[in-house]
Amino acid sequence: MVDFAVFVAPLVAGILTGYALRNRLHANVSRATFATILALTFSLGFSIGSNNDVLNSLPRVAWNAFFMAVLAIVFSVALVELAKRRVKLT
């Protein structure tokens, strides 16, 4: 199991570096961030594609995620409508 500090240490180092250089260095890191996110997304997709167990259970997981998303939307809309009527906004 990976130690928690492996994930926290780079985050803290980045925060401290950004704080220390905030007035001196105005780097545009959005491209580097975007490239890193693309690399991580590719890596995740590669891991999923190379694992047969995960790949075989993907349709079941996708349907569960779909139904949870639909239920979250339906209940959010219903509760907002109920709250609007209770507060008498419309």
pLDDT digits (tens, 9 = 90+) for 24-39: 766 667 788 899 999 9
> Is 0.75 topped by the overall pTM?
no
The pLDDT of residue 1 is above 60: no
Mark whether 58 and 78 lie in a shared domain.
Answer: yes
Helix (H, G, I), strand (E, B) or coil at 27: coil
Helix (H, G, I), strand (E, B) or coil at 74: helix
Mark whether 42 and 22 lie in a shared domain.
Answer: yes
Task: Give me the domain span that covers residue 19.
Answer: 1-50
Q: Quickly list H helices, 1-90.
A: 5-20, 30-50, 52-87
Mark whether 2 and 43 lie in a shared domain.
Answer: yes
Q: What is the DSSP letter of 3?
A: -
pLDDT digits (tens, 9 = 90+) for 65-84: 999 999 999 999 999 999 98
Contact between residue 11 and residue 19 where contact means Cβ atoms under 8 Å apart: no
